[in-house]
Each structure stands twice: as C-alpha cells, then as structure tokens.
Structure 1
Amino acid sequence: MKTKATKTLEKLKHIYDLMFAYFGPRNWWPGETRFEIIVGAILTQSVAWRNVSKAIENLRAAGILTLEAMYKAPIEEIEKHIVPTLYWRMKAKKLRAFVNHIMDNYHGDLDKFLQKDKEELRRELLSLYGIGPETADSIILYAAEQPVFVVDAYTRRIFHRLGFFEESVSYDEMQQFFMKHIPPDVRYYNEYHALIVGIGNRFCSNKKPDCGNCPIQSVCRFKQRNKVENEG
C-alpha cells in the first residue's frame, strides 16, 4: 500500500512530466559565468527576464560584468546600464553590496564563497542588503549548484490552483513541502522551478489564466471548478 508521501511524490513527478513534455529543457539559469547568474538573480526582482537580459548585455558591452570591474565602477555607471530592470538605483546598491562583500571578505574569490555549506551560505546571503529568500535560493541553486528548491509567486498561484496549498502559504512552507517530497537533486530542482515559471508566464496568469491550453489542465482543480461553474 502506497504511503501518502509516495502518492504526493508521484503527483509532483506527474506534474513535472506534463510540463516537461510541453516545454522541454528550459536551460536555466542563463548566464556565461557564476557571477553573471548572480547578477541576473538580483536584477530579476520584480521585473520580466527580457528586461534583465537587456541590462546584462549593457553591462557586458560596458566591460563591467565581472566582479572586479563592477567593484571598481562608479555606482552611477552601474545604474545607467541597468535602467531596463526598473528600480535601478536600488538594484545598483544591491549589486554593489554583494560585490563589496565578496571583495572585502573573500579577496574576490567567488568560488570560495559559493563552496560554503548550503545553510551557512543561505544565512550569509540573507544578511546582505537587498537579498531575500528567493534571490538567495536562486543563487544557491543556479550559481552554487547546491540543492535547494526555489519557490516564488508562480509556485504559490499554480500549486494553490492545483490544490496543494492555501493561497496564504508562506515561502518557507512551500519550500519545505517540495524538499520534503522530492529527493535533493540540483538538475531536477533547477528544471522544476524553470518549468513552473514557464507555466506561470505562459498560462497561469493571475486574472485571466489560459486554462484551455495549459499543459497541466488535466490535474488542475481550478480548471475543473471553472468548467463546472461555466456549465452551471
């Protein structure tokens, strides 16, 4: 007889398989270097990735998309290149705070910082200006390549509609749920989060979800409830 945990894992794997069959590999997180991945994780707060991509290309063209170059660059120089990401003054301060931390405490050795124990690394990241749980976990998973499940607003919306969570569920509660039921695996966690973002971007919008074309509609309570209400 299957345990509740086994059934939950099977459901989560089935959802993954449905998403993967539609999207295929998402190749996340885009970035040529670990530092570029971290820059992207900080800049993507509250903005679409296409805007982040523009900002990263601006930084690259200006020659300040390395730890050392950004450390030496005037903050005004950083600001003007990341304007597409919105809140650019605040985000420039966040980038500078991270860069200063690595240069001042690790002599610019980013690999040494990222090789720290996962829990210790998370605590240290959260102590830095402008880095919250989602950004910290993105850095740990995508740059440090350590297994932590990244959750976000899309995760809350989608899995509430699927019937897994209350809408008021906290970040930590969501993360603990996934990490309790899915064995730690960097590549799987990476792809799962990327697929969730794909569903959120493409289909599961807040006000007008495209349930009819969604790859996971067959397991979605929200879709089924809407169908009953519309037929009624």
Structure 2
Amino acid sequence: MQPAYKLIYNKLFEYYGPQSWWPAETPFEMMIGSILVQNTNWRNVDKALIKLAPYFEPAIIDYLPIEDLAQLIRSSGFYNIKAKRIKAFMEWFRKYDYNVERIKNMDKIELRKELLSIHGIGQETADVMLVYAFEKPVFVVDAYARRIFYRIGHDMPASYDSFRKLLEKELPNKLTLYNEFHALLVEHAKQYCRSKPICENCPLLDICDRRRE
C-alpha cells in the first residue's frame, strides 16, 4: 500500500503527466512572477510580464523608478504594493549580485529564513521561489492544496508550516517530486477540484471522500 500522499501524487502524475513548471523563461522572471501572482490570477500576471519584458534584467528592474515599475505591473492588481515588494526583493537579491547559482549553494533553512525576512514575501511565495528558482525540495502549501486534501478526506494542520512539514516528512526528499506535486495540484484544482467541483471522471474520485468546505 502506497503512503496516502504519494498515492495522490502518482494518480495525478499518471493522469496529467509532467507539467514543466514554473511558466517562466528564467529564474529571475519566475521570482518576479511569484510576487505578481499574489492575490490575482495568472492571466493578469502574464499581461504584466509582457509589459516588463523590455526591462527584464535584474539591475534594470532594481534601479527602475518605483512609480514606473508600478505602472508596468498595473494589470496584476495591488500594483503599488507589489512594486514595493519587488523593490524589497531586489534589495535582497542585489546582496548576492543577482546570482541565482550562488544562492542555490545556501542551506535551505537559512535561505528560507532570509526570504521570509523580505517585506512582502510570505511563506507560500518563499517556498515557490525555493522550489522553482533555487532548487530546494519544499512542499508549497497553497489554497489549492488545502482544498484538494480536505475534499479527499485529510484533516491537515491549520498552520502553514505544520501542513508543509507533515507532507515533507512523508514524501521522498526529491526536488522533481515537489516541483511536480505543486504544479499537478494547481492543474487539478483548475480542471476538476474547482470551487464548484466537477467530480465526474476525476482521477482522484476513487480515493476521495468528496467533502465540501
């Protein structure tokens, strides 16, 4: 019998296949996208990323006036707040000479602490960066994960870190698994496990308690 969480992963992977996530050309674009997607949908982020494309070098974004940056990301919503968050992130990134490879060599726990110390970088955003930019195996707890696990029948811890640590304790310590698991849960939440679920033909139906929020 497979562990419950690995069974969920295997069923989703068999159904959807590899997701090739995060949708970005570079780690830097990925990190900026993870800030822009806070409290909005990816369509709005995509519009902002298109506007940012001519400026997509770390030093250029870093020294771009905050008022100009805010206007470029207007489509992402809360654009003044997100511009401040991007600027705070860039201040931290500058300390490492904008060098992603250098940051990858850091200890995962220490790096996570640093990311969480940046204004506007919460647990979910930090963990998304850890997985997709800095290649650290971390389980990303987002609203989709909470919804799916609850409906299946798992009473997960209320706190973010308790939820995350429970999954990380049970799952193999493999980056590709954490990368794919997050992406697969997002895809499944969009396809079947929506706010109003579509249970017919759902690949998890045979293991789901079909609980509703």
Q: Considering the TM-score relative to the shorter chain, is it more than 0.5?
A: yes
Sort the Cα spacing of 1:107 and 1:20 in 2 relative to 1 into closer, same or farther, 3 A: closer
Measured in 1, the distance between the counterparts of 2:24 and 2:86 equals: 16
1:34-93 deviation digits (Å, cap 9, x = unpaired): 111101111111111122122112100xx2112111012111221112112111111111
**Within the alignment, does 1:53 sit opposite 2:80 as a pair?**
no
Partner of 1:189: 178
Partner of 2:92: 101
Q: Is the 8 A contact 1:94 1:131 kept in 2?
A: yes
Larger radius of gyration: 1
Aligned residues: 212
Percent of aligned pairs with the same residue?
A: 42
Partner of 1:229: none
Q: CA deviation at 1:214?
A: 1.9
Q: CA RMSD in A?
A: 1.7
Partner of 1:177: 166
Q: Is the 8 A contact 1:156 1:169 kept in 2?
A: no
Query: What are the within-5 Å matches in structure 2 for residues 59-78 of structure 1?
Result: 59-60=52-53, 63-78=54-69
Partner of 2:26: 33
Partner of 2:79: 88
Partner of 2:126: 136
Q: CA deviation at 1:218?
A: 1.1
Q: Is the 8 A contact 2:3 2:170 kept in 1?
A: no
Partner of 1:219: 207
**Tell me, what secondary structure is at the counterpart of 1:146?**
coil
Q: CA deviation at 1:122?
A: 0.4
One-letter code of the match for 1:137?
D
Measured in 1, the distance between the counterparts of 2:12 and 2:99 equals: 37
One-letter code of the match for 2:200?
G
Partner of 1:201: 190
Q: CA deviation at 1:156?
A: 0.9
Partner of 2:153: 163
Q: Is the 8 A contact 2:100 2:133 kept in 1?
A: no
Structure 1 spans left out of the alignment, 5+ residues: 1-6, 226-232
Sort the Cα spacing of 1:114 and 1:93 in 2 relative to 1 into closer, same or farther, 3 A: farther
Q: CA deviation at 1:144?
A: 0.2
**Tell me, what secondary structure is at the counterpart of 1:35?**
helix
Q: Which has the higher helix share?
A: 1
Sort the Cα spacing of 1:162 and 1:58 in 2 relative to 1 into closer, same or farther, 3 A: same
Q: Is the 8 A contact 1:102 1:113 kept in 2?
A: no
**Within the alignment, does 1:148 sit opposite 2:138 as a pair?**
yes
Higher-RCO chain (CA-CA 8 Å, sequence separation at least 6): 2
Q: Is the 8 A contact 1:36 1:65 kept in 2?
A: yes
